[in-house]
Amino acid sequence: MEKPLDRCLDEVFNTPGVTGVLCADAQGLCLSSKGTAHPRAAGVITSLMKQAAQLEPTADNLPVLRLESESCNILIQGKSEITLAVYKTPE
């Protein structure tokens, strides 16, 4: 049933440098997660994306967020009803 989504996240997860992937719906429900991405973070990630989108309400596309830390970079992108977070090791 959710195999296509899992397959999609697996492709991203197998990209070099990626340590985790998470996909959440508009309500912050974790649809799928891989690697270091914890399903509990789905709500926070969705909320961050909604807050960031309010900075430019008239923009056509949702913004791309990048959270930086010493051990991990988190890239967050929203599209239609989903929010995707990609955990990467810092370069």
Is residue 23 near other proteins by the rule CB under 8 A?
yes
Which string of b and e fits 69-85 if b means at least 16 CB within 10 Å?
A: eeeebbebbbeeeebbb
Least spacing, CB of residue 27 vs other proteins, in Å:
14
Q: How many residues bind other proteins (CB under 8 A)?
A: 27
Is residue 66 near other proteins by the rule CB under 8 A?
yes
- Per CB under 8 A, which region of 33-41, 50-58, 64-72 contacts other proteins? 64-72
Is residue 11 near other proteins by the rule CB under 8 A?
yes
Are 70 and 2 spatial neighbours (Cβ–Cβ below 8 Å)? no
Is residue 72 near other proteins by the rule CB under 8 A?
no
Q: Which residue number, 48 or 84, has a Cβ lying nearer to other proteins?
A: 84
User: What does R_g of the chain's alpha carbons equal in angstroms?
Assistant: 13
Which string of b and e fits 21-38 if b means at least 16 CB within 10 Å?
A: bbbbeeebebbbbbebbe
Is residue 21 near other proteins by the rule CB under 8 A?
yes
